[in-house]
A and B are shown apart, each in its own frame.
Chain A
């Protein structure tokens, strides 16, 4: 598969543990944020989104937290599974109809 970002920060977790992936965004005027998952050799896949009028949003096994005060976004994955191993990107709409992606974090799940 394709190698995305040879020097990405890496988070290594044990299968079954919870994972927390963090992201600092740049524009305090951004009002929409998305988390994407990218597996090797594939395009990014939508995980969850949140608008700036919310602090927290939950999906299936995932939770996104938004702290506008410190411009911080986090993705929590409960009971991490081997299939969660991928690169995770946060994105913000910091200029109208444009998404700006973060550099990504590689999640590795140890069996």
Chain B
């Protein structure tokens, strides 16, 4: 158990819908990272937040957005969902803003029908 929690574990929805994925980092960690893992793309970095501020951005679609709240939990919002958005979404956390060992949560499996 990494100490990072993600909810929900599974999510099934329809095209065009909007969903919110939630992540609670390890106690004391200030950085939160979001990743997408699909069968054909592997693990793709989406975005990083540190202490409430966006710090780095990867291949995140404009339909996706994220935020980190004062209690340091983070949410990833996915809108206008398409079939190709079906994937595992992982959250990871680390203590500082510096790129360092990241602790991954168990992931949310999103299925878009």
Binding site for B on A (CB under 8 A): 2-6, 32, 34, 36, 42-46, 49, 89, 91, 93, 96-104
| Contact indicator A99/B99 (Cβ below 8 Å) | yes
Can you list 26 A-B contacts (CB < 8 A)?
Answer: A2-B109, A5-B42, A34-B101, A34-B102, A36-B104, A43-B2, A43-B4, A43-B90, A43-B106, A44-B43, A44-B90, A44-B92, A45-B104, A46-B102, A46-B103, A49-B101, A89-B43, A96-B56, A96-B99, A97-B99, A98-B48, A98-B99, A99-B45, A99-B99, A102-B42, A104-B42
Additional pairs, 10, CB under 8 Å, beyond known A34-B102, A97-B55: A3-B39, A34-B101, A43-B92, A43-B105, A44-B92, A46-B103, A98-B45, A99-B33, A99-B102, A104-B43
Inter-chain CA distance A95–B15, complex, in Å, is 33
| Contact indicator B97/A4 (Cβ below 8 Å) | no
| Contact indicator A98/B2 (Cβ below 8 Å) | no
Q: Looking at the assembled complex, report how far the CB atom of A3 sits from the nearest CB atom of chain B, in whole angstroms.
A: 7
Q: Looking at the assembled complex, report how far the CB atom of B8 sits from the nearest CB atom of chain A, in whole angstroms.
A: 15
Inter-chain CA distance A101–B101, complex, in Å, is 14
Q: Looking at the assembled complex, report how far the CB atom of A15 sits from the nearest CB atom of chain B, in whole angstroms.
A: 26
The chain A residue with its CB closest to the CB of B45 is A98
Give every chain A residue within 8 A of B92 (Cβ-Cβ): 43-44
Q: Could you mark each residue 28-50 of chain B with 1 if its beta carbon is under 8 Å from any beta carbon of chain A, else 0?
A: 00000100010100111100100
Q: Looking at the assembled complex, report how far the CB atom of B110 sits from the nearest CB atom of chain A, in whole angstroms.
A: 12
Inter-chain CA distance A45–B47, complex, in Å, is 19
The chain A residue with its CB closest to the CB of B37 is A4
Best-buried of B43, B97, B107 by chain A (most CB within 10 Å): B43
| Contact indicator A42/B106 (Cβ below 8 Å) | yes
Inter-chain CA distance A45–B102, complex, in Å, is 8
| Contact indicator B97/A6 (Cβ below 8 Å) | no
